[in-house]
Amino acid sequence: MAAEPSRDVESLLRSALRPIEPPEKLSGRVEETLSAVTEAAAEELSAWAEELSESELRSLRDPRNWLRPAAAITAGGIAAGGLVLVELRRRKRPSRLSGLADQVSEIAGQVRDQVRKSRD
């Protein structure tokens, strides 16, 4: 049977364009990437570690200070297994993430600048 031509396009669009829930593993993946950023930032910071207090350094190195709470809410408790999947996925698809190292390095520099600024 043919579709009813009278049905208004806006309600069709509303039905067709429903929000898409992100896969659970994506939260772990984003968390992992941003944790990598903070790790890289902490490594950069170690070059001038004597300028920082122990607690500042500890805080920067601890990825729990990053997106873990958000990821826990959205991912409903995915754990280390998710991070392993992320890593495996990265290794399988190096070309897609070839720019990641550069980005991490660049962002790490910016994190360092932010830390410097907030300490000044």
Angle between helices 24-46 and 54-61 (to 10 degrees): 150
**CA separation for the pair 47, 115 (Å, rounded):** 14
Of 43-51, 64-72, 76-84, which part binds another protein (CB under 8 A)?
Answer: 64-72
Name which position in 49, 73, 79, 88 contacts another protein (CB under 8 A): 73
Check residue 26 for interaction with another protein (CB under 8 A).
yes
**CA separation for the pair 15, 13 (Å, rounded):** 5
**CA separation for the pair 11, 18 (Å, rounded):** 11
Check residue 80 for interaction with another protein (CB under 8 A).
no
Check residue 115 for interaction with another protein (CB under 8 A).
yes
Q: Provide, rounded to whole angstroms, the least separation between the CB of residue 64 and another protein.
A: 12
- Size of the chain in residues: 120
Which residue, chain included where needed, has tokens 């991070």? 83
**Sites of contact with another protein (CB under 8 A):** 2-5, 7, 9-10, 12-23, 26-27, 29-30, 33-34, 37, 59, 65-67, 69-70, 73-74, 96, 103, 106-107, 110-111, 114-115, 117-118
